[in-house]
Structure 1
Amino acid sequence: MLVSNSDRPARLHYMANGFRVLTPGDHVVCAVSGARIPIDSLRYWSVDRQHAYASAHLASEALRPQ
């Protein structure tokens, strides 16, 4: 049986210059907004927090010191 990765969240390990797929899927969820981010559109993440972000603005908001 062939299992499709569509409509399934992926689990990724975020690194400084990319990410490694731990569990295949077609999207990840933004840590701030909860928006679905297609894997091929993912551009912003935190290596330290291991979170994905939907935009540069959301990433900077999340990473701003409190």
Structure 2
Amino acid sequence: MLIASRNRLARLQYGPNGFRVLAPGDHVLCAVSGAPIGLDELRYWSVARQEPYATAEISVQAELDAARKA
């Protein structure tokens, strides 16, 4: 039997070349904007902070903010 994962928040482990699904779902939420990101559309994340980002611009801004805080 397949477990339905539509409209469920997934839990992922982010690696340098991809991600691993820890809890099934069809999307994650952008760590900055809170926007839902479909797993098939997820392209940007931080391995160090284990955070997903909706766009390249948000990803760069998160990196700059983290560098300022360090």
TM-score by length of 2: 0.89
What are the ranges of 5 or more consecutive residues in structure 1 without an aligned counterpart?
A: none
Per-residue deviation, 1:3? 3.1
TM-score by length of 1: 0.94
Answer yes or no: is 1:6 the counterpart of 2:6.
yes
One-letter code aligned to 1:62: A
**Structure 1 stretches (4+) deviating beyond 6 angstroms?**
none
How far apart are the structure 2 equivalents of 1:17 and 1:2? 27
Structure with greater strand percent: 1
What residue number does 1:51 align with? 51
Per-residue deviation, 1:36? 0.1
Identity, % of aligned positions: 58
What are the ranges of 5 or more consecutive residues in structure 2 without an aligned counterpart?
A: none
Per-residue deviation, 1:5? 0.2
Q: Does the residue aligned with 2:34 lie in a helix, a strand or coil? A: coil
